[in-house]
Structure 1
């Protein structure tokens, strides 16, 4: 499969791409936020639900495991008509797959997340309360190793928390390293992740990256991605070191440039981690 390098609608299409590619991230988020075990065997299924009449309703994503079926909706804004259809999606999924059915809503906007969490009055006095994954339920992935082990979660973290002034640089570095790791296996996907992460970052973090790479305009993102993928993790991590130093006000000089030129990728990852935690050049 070849991935388009066009940046999708970051609030809707990209979360679906991430969860299609890594359903385990969905299971992890639901387990950590709500204590509900969905299992580790989720696979994508048809998201179309048909009525007796020809009309059809299509959910954003449906994944199925041995014991569960999960309907996933990504919500960018309040939409009461769409919300009224969620019980239909869930009842149809339950009838089709004959197993426990769960509704999970991804809402990266806090106000939309709060709206989606309200119970939906359904049948005979009952109500359906969606499991809503909003910014509070998405962890801030700050650690490079954690980002590499779960790159889709790291990208989702950047989308949810990239405007966090306190942690934007650390979140951005972790997500960019994860995107580079993915790019070594699938260049198109890596480029897409780079673009989305950079779009999600706060101005200060993005400005630091732009300054360190000395690139301009939209095309810099694809050029950075191609450079990272072509040169491997080390070159991208050297850029991350420069970015962290500029963001934290750490003096940059020729000696430090020479120092990082001799380091391999694992050593650069350790240096990034120390800079993030200590916010000074290590002795």
Structure 2
């Protein structure tokens, strides 16, 4: 098993809930993921996972929000978690797109993670349409973009969206190039302090403006405990954002609506007996 430990934490709930609902509504022949990690994970019930996926599933199951109960993410994870496992984004994408997609393209630096994806694809009878790249995804996906169809869906999930690769480009540059080619893009990013958030917001807004990209959707979910330059306690990530381009109006609305639902779902949440409530920001919409 790969060494990843991020799965099932609260930012995963935002990222994967949105990913599932958007994928259901966007018609794409090719799915590309820059940082796939594993398709399926055995759960460990850590405090971070209790605050994340366990809180989500429990509150949705006992609550009256029918939209969340009917969500693909809840339905898939609730079923899988009965057996003590969590579905990562590769599995969710394969479950949703299935044979409607001609190709699934997954990048990761950990071979064991790609082996995990391959095993899941084989069990789902999708292995012939799955292409695995054990290499740097920033350079790899940028090189691959010109050969892909316009209706490709690109899921960009690196955490550090501003870190330059050997070519001098960043993951935000990757989103910009894919957007220019007409592809549907969903980018996730994280931050730990308000200073980090301010820097990333300025970086994203400046780069999009310089690239002439005016149509996009951005939303952030942030713990109310966030501070300017210190971390009081750490459940994995303090704040995270979704940046989307070339999506339908329905998908744009989904991103905003479901992030609002998560704020309400987490209004009385705790992490290790500390405040786990969230607020939503639309930094430059």
Give the TM-score taking structure 1 as reference length.
Answer: 0.29
Higher relative contact order (CA 8 A, sep 6+): 2
Higher helix share: 1
Structure with higher strand content: 2
**Structure of higher CA gyration radius:** 1
- TM-score normalised to structure 2 length: 0.29
